[in-house]
Amino acid sequence: MTTSINDLIVAAPDTSCDVELAKGPWEFDTFPGYGPGASENDVIPEPVVRPGQLPAEYQRMTDDELHARIRAAKDKLGSRLVILGHFYQRDEVIQYADFVGDSFQLANAALTKPDSDTIVFCGVHFMAETADILARPEQHVILPNLAAGCSMADMADEDSVEACWEDLMAVYGEEPDADGKQPVIPVTYMNSSAALKAFCGRHGGIVCTSSNAATVLEWAFERGQRVLFFPDQHLGRNTAKAMGIPLEQMPMWSPRKELGGNTVEELNDAKVILWHGFCSVHKRFSVAQIEKARAEFPGVKVIVHPESPMPVVDAADAAGSTDAIRKYVIASEPGDVIAIGTEVNMVNRLAAEFPDRTIFCLDPVVCPCSTMYRIHPGYLAWTLDGLVAGELRNEIVVPDDIATDAKVALERMLAALPK
């Protein structure tokens, strides 16, 4: 039997970036509340099964029993069910996905499964919300564990973004310039709540993913003098820098500071205002790790996700979305050595798929997306059994008023194809 990340983390907790992950699946998953990354306006389904409250029957099942349950439920549900999985999802779960992809592809996949009446999303909360917004009205979307959120998405809440917007309107005014360009266009990264996507829809803005961020920024600059980019400062900075925008024209907006910590002059000169958000997995990558990889493996190719800090992206050979990273590996030659700066489940899966290349994660510490990791096979078995019994467990429902505005911003995004 191969060793899974799960085994590694539990066996040697000090090799993981998150000590919580060293606990058993039902232990680390016990903090209360509707999961991180959830829209604050989300309707909490009833009966609410919070993390850690998975029925004891499922907690006691062996892995073999859980997998038998999942397979049996999948067989019974047939084409009524579609399971979507993000590249970062753990192997024990991803094996059941009908479609695996990056955030942009998964948003499209949610649209292209007209036969199914239920989408089970093995990703994180904002991805499931997006699927619910884009799906047909009679389709249901399930997130097997409601605590599978995104810590970056939590770094921009609707109230703070509204407050920022008011400040910016006070500085810039609300009127377009002589060329008809708006003072500022809001751009939210896909990793944000539905409420923020709706905010962008209402204010002439748009959503982007890491695969189409450059196309989206071009779209925004055709319509506005500047951009407010949230929540990921790194994706915003890396993308804008590649378009030739100087760093001095990319001030940071820190939500707790007056004017975000900027002067009126700095804001007037700004081209891209970057929200103070980041991904805790990707901020671990460093230039020192790249230097070490180059010293140990002369000729190594380094590719990183653009959520990594700018010096890391600059020192790498390439940067791109999870799908771009996958395509980079597919295009490589047998014998190549490739160091990857992204989540470790995805890197290990690529290494297993291409055994004739040497593929490794830049960060020597096992660092999974700890929220996506919460989708344990136990939750998948329990939600699928629910569907077989005619019960929707952990359904994600975005209220209609939010969904309507968010869809405007998402449809603009879907038209902005990756380059």
Q: Which positions touch ligand SF4 (CB under 6 A)? A: 88, 124, 150-152, 191, 279, 281, 307, 343, 369, 371-372
DSSP-derived letter for residue 394 is S
Site for ligand 13P in 245-274 (CB under 6 A): none
Q: Which is nearer to ligand 13P, 193 or 321 (CB)?
A: 321
Helices (H), 297-376: 310-315, 322-330, 344-353
- H helices of 82-123, in order, are 91-94, 103-111
CB of 67 to ligand SF4, least distance (A): 25
CB-facing half-sphere around the CA of 253: CA atoms within 13 A: 27
Nearer to ligand 13P, 227 or 413 (CB): 413
**Could you say which of ligand SF4, ligand 13P, none residue 321 binds, taking C-beta under 5 to 8 angstroms by partner kind?**
ligand 13P
Q: In this structure, are strands 252-253 and 206-208 parallel, antiparallel, or unpaired? A: unpaired
Query: What track of x and - describes contact with ligand 13P for positions 202 through 221 (by CB under 6 A)?
Result: -------xxx----------
Residue among 251, 38, 47 at smallest CA distance from 151: 38
CB of 176 to ligand 13P, least distance (A): 32
Q: Which of 321, 345, 348, 371 binds ligand 13P (CB under 6 A)?
A: 321
Under the binding rule (CB under 6 A), the answer on residue 102 touching ligand 13P is yes
Tell whether residue 132 is a contact of ligand 13P (CB under 6 A).
no
CA–CA separation, 129 vs 141, rounded Å?
8
279 marked among binding-site residues: yes
In the bound state with ligand SF4, the residue whose beta carbon lies nearer, of 206 and 372, is: 372
Q: What is the 8-class DSSP label of residue 37?
A: T
Q: From ligand 13P, ligand SF4, none, which one binds at residue 372 (CB under 5 to 8 Å depending on kind)?
A: ligand SF4
User: Nearest to residue 102, comparing CAs of 191, 188, 17, 198?
Assistant: 191
β-pair type (118-122, 206-208): unpaired
Closer residue to ligand SF4 in complex, CB, 35/386: 35
| Contact assessment for residue 202 and residue 180, using Cβ atoms and an 8 Å cutoff | no
DSSP state of 232: -
CA distances from 287 to 302, 310, 320 (A): 11, 10, 17
Smallest separation, CB 37 to ligand SF4 (Å):
7
Q: Is 210 annotated as a binding residue?
A: yes
Report whether 116 belongs to an annotated binding site. no
Instruction: Specify the DSSP class assigned to residue 137.
Output: T
Place of tokens 């829809």: 201
Q: Would you count residue 346 as binding ligand 13P (CB under 6 A)?
A: no
CB of 56 to ligand SF4, least distance (A): 29
Site string for ligand 13P, 181-200 (x = CB under 6 A): ----------x---------
Helix (H) or strand (E) holding 200: helix 194-202
191 is in an annotated binding site: yes
395 binds ligand 13P (CB under 6 A): no
Q: Residue 145: which of ligand SF4, ligand 13P, none does it interact with, CB under 5 to 8 A by kind?
A: none
Shortest approach of ligand 13P to residue 321 CB, angstroms? Answer: 3
The answer for residues whose C-beta is within 8 angstroms of residue 293's C-beta and 6 or more apart is 300, 302, 339, 360, 362
In the numeric block, which tokens belong to residue 383?
Answer: 């939600």
Partner whose footprint covers residue 118, from ligand SF4, ligand 13P, none (CB < 5 to 8 Å by kind): none
Q: Does 279 bind ligand 13P (CB under 6 A)?
A: yes
- Choose the contact partner of 316 out of ligand SF4, ligand 13P, none; CB within 5 to 8 A by kind: none
What are the structure tokens assigned to 321, written together? 């979305």
**Nearest in space to 189 (alpha carbons), one of 163, 173, 212, 166:** 212
- Write the Ramachandran bin of 299: left for phi over 0, alpha for psi from -120 to 50, otherwise beta: left
C-alpha count within 13 angstroms, C-beta hemisphere, residue 66 = 20
By a kind-dependent CB cut-off of 5 to 8 A, residue 322 interacts, out of ligand 13P, ligand SF4, none, with ligand 13P
Binding residues for [4Fe-4S] cluster, as ranges, are: 150, 279, 369
Binding site for ligand 13P (CB under 6 A): 102-103, 191, 209-211, 279, 305, 307, 321-322
Binding residues, as ranges, are: 86, 103, 150, 189-191, 210, 279, 305-307, 322, 369
